[in-house]
Amino acid sequence: MTNNASAQAAPAAPAGDVVVAVRDVHYAAGGRPIFAGLDLAVRRGRITAIMGPSGTGKTTLLRLITAQIRPERGTVQVFGRDLAALGRAQTYELRRRTGMLFQNGALLTDLDVFENVAFPVREHTDLPEPLIRLLVLTKLQAVGLRGAAQLMPGELSGGMARRVALARAIVMDPEILLYDEPFVGLDPISLGVILRLIKHMNEALGITSVVVSHDVQELATIADDSYLISAGRVAAAGTPAQLRASNSAAVRQFMTGSADGPVPFHYPAPDYATQLLGTEPA
């Protein structure tokens, strides 16, 4: 995919307005390059969408932002601090300022809804039980599931489980909220609920949100800033409307979901006819 970011670049933000800065990041996994000079910025109080075809490293980017892995080259800064320079205690301190909604919800199956949401509070604080109860019920009310506090994860629908996971992600009042493919497997009603919750949480709580997804249409309804990642770097950046208006064939292919374009449908393989006739190994 060609880099058309210069024409569609997101406006530069003042240094104090940037809470996550990824600069010239290079990273490979198992010898396969994932990022090759990735540059992007997440601005305070906004919803930033990270999009791209499968396998472009969107989840890997979240792991870099949470210091689970480190870049081979370049820097990742969160709240102005270079993650590579932080010790264990400092890293945990930064993580406590960050909430994470995992792709599959990742609820603890042997705990009920209340205890799932309470889990981070019990792990990281010494708050008294009445205050924990107040925090948990407040967050469950925010996602519309206060009445489900005593249900077990196995009794929840997919959409309800995602909302419980969201309540757990915000129970510590994070400054940054990371969403890893939050729309996967949701029916249209649940999808609409999650979209409204993401927007509402950002506005009501003043959270900075990073949403990783390949669901273009859904992200376009909530994102303030968007980045399209391909070939290890930013292919285009700007508002959802700017990306849709891009004159790059590769960007248009992704935004419209077309099978024909610069991004091939087929994984590289030997000649089809030759392989079928048995003269090439399978």
Question: If we measure between CA atoms, which residue out of 176, 217, 173, 175 comes closest to residue 195?
Answer: 217
Shared domain for 79 and 168, answered yes or no, is: no
Q: Which residues, including other chains, have CB under 8 Å from residue 31's CB and lie 6 or more apart?
A: none
Higher pLDDT, 107 or 15: 107
| R_g over Cα of the chain | 20
Q: Count the domains in the chain.
A: 2
Q: In what side-by-side order are the strands of the sheet with 81-82?
A: 32-43, 18-29, 73-78, 81-82
Angstrom CA distances, 33 to 37, 38, 161, 232, 267, stand at 11, 12, 34, 7, 16
11 and 149 together in one domain: no
**Pairwise CA distance, residues 92 & 258, whole Å:** 42
Q: Is 222 helix (H, G, I), strand (E, B) or coil?
A: coil
Give the H or E element holding residue 99.
strand 98-101
The pTM of this model reads 0.80
* Domain, as residue range, for 8: 1-97+206-282
Taking residues 69-83, report their average pLDDT: 93
User: CATH code at 15?
Assistant: 3.40.50.300
Residue 5 shares a structural domain with residue 66: yes
pLDDT for the residue 9: 45
15 pLDDT band, cuts 50/70/90, is low
Domain boundary (173, 189, 222) is at: 173
Q: Is residue 181 part of a domain?
A: no
Could you report the per-residue pLDDT of 185-222, keeping only the tens digit for each?
Answer: 778 888 888 888 889 888 888 889 999 987 777 888 88
Backbone angles phi, psi at 31, to 5 degrees: 80, -5
Q: Which residue has the tokens 């990783």?
A: 212
User: Does 264 reside within a domain?
Assistant: yes
pLDDT at 252 over 80: no
Q: Are residues 26 and 112 in the same domain?
A: no
Question: CB neighbours of 20 closer than 8 A, spacing ≥ 6?
Answer: 41, 42, 65, 76, 77, 78, 176, 208, 210
In this structure, the answer to whether residues 103 and 69 fall within a common structural domain is: no
218 and 79 in one domain?
yes
Of 173, 190, 217, the domain-final residue: 173
Please compute the mean of the pLDDT values over residues 151-176 and round it to a whole number.
Answer: 90
Q: For the chain, give the longest Cα–Cα distance.
A: 72
Tens-digit pLDDT profile for residues 215-251:
777 888 889 999 988 888 888 888 877 877 777 766 7
Looking at the fold, whether 66 and 120 belong to one and the same domain comes out as no
Note whether 68 and 85 are same-domain residues. yes
Same domain, 129 and 265: no
Residues 47 and 114 placed together within one structural domain of the fold: no
Establish if 190 belongs to a structural domain.
no
Residues 43 and 120 reside in one and the same domain: no
